[in-house]
Amino acid sequence: MMNKKIKFQDLGTKDYKDTWDYQEGLFAEIVNQKIAKRDQPDIETNNYFLYVEHPHVYTLGKSGDFSNLLLSEKQLQEKGATFYKINRGGDITYHGPGQIVGYPILDLENFFTDIHKYLRYLEEAIILTLAEYGLKTERSPGETGVWFDVGTPFARKICAMGVRASRWVTMHGFALNVNADLGFFDNIIPCGIRGKGVTSMHVELGKQIDENEVKQKILKHFKELFEAEWE
């Protein structure tokens, strides 16, 4: 039985490690449901979608290069930032205030079993949301995320993505720069990609953006793409 209902939670501002632990708990819950389902086919597996805003933090994916962090431990402390090496794909990225972070923790067997398609749908939800603000964004071949001016000297990323999937259960997700302080990206080589910039809705539109409004638009497009229901 496929369960297309997604339990939505906005966690507000929450420490990165605490949120990671929380994700791991939900992830394990779904995996355990899938194991039980082998003997009891009527069991439904849950799906979750978390919104969160993190205090300043840098995270490095499992195959990332530590040298892409350009700060010492002392400099991290001076900037009030933390650092974690984590179990998602991708390289290094930054999370902080003014950024919308979304963590879909889904059993993809409730939707479709295709990780490539899953990532493209995440990108599409952001692309469609930004289009509502008159912003034309696109994908960059071989570089997951959402970009402006791909293939030009002005290419810049507005939304980073990195996920983990096991037994078709996902965790981690996307980070959209809305009103974020982009200066924090100067301390890393974002996603390990040299020579390309980072931007935000605030920079592109020249004004502060209502983050709650953006969140609602993302949820609308996510729901339509995944043919889901919110709980």
Tally of CA atoms within 13 A in the half-sphere of 118 that contains its CB: 25
Give strand pairing partners of 140: 143
Helix (H, G, I), strand (E, B) or coil at 23: helix
The pairing of beta strand 229-230 with beta strand 197-198? unpaired
Q: Which residues pair with 170 in a beta bridge?
A: 165
List, as residue ranges, the binding site for substrate: 88-95, 160-162, 173-175
Cβ-based neighbour number of residue 126 at 10 Å: 24
- What CA–CA distance (Å, rounded) separates 89 from 51? 19
Task: Say which of 50, 165, 191, 218 is annotated catalytic.
Answer: 191
CA max distance for the chain: 56
159 is catalytic: no
In whole angstroms, what separates CA 7 from the centre of its chain?
17
DSSP readout, 49-75?
Answer: EEEEEPSSEEEE-TT--GGGB---HHH
Catalytic residue annotation: 191
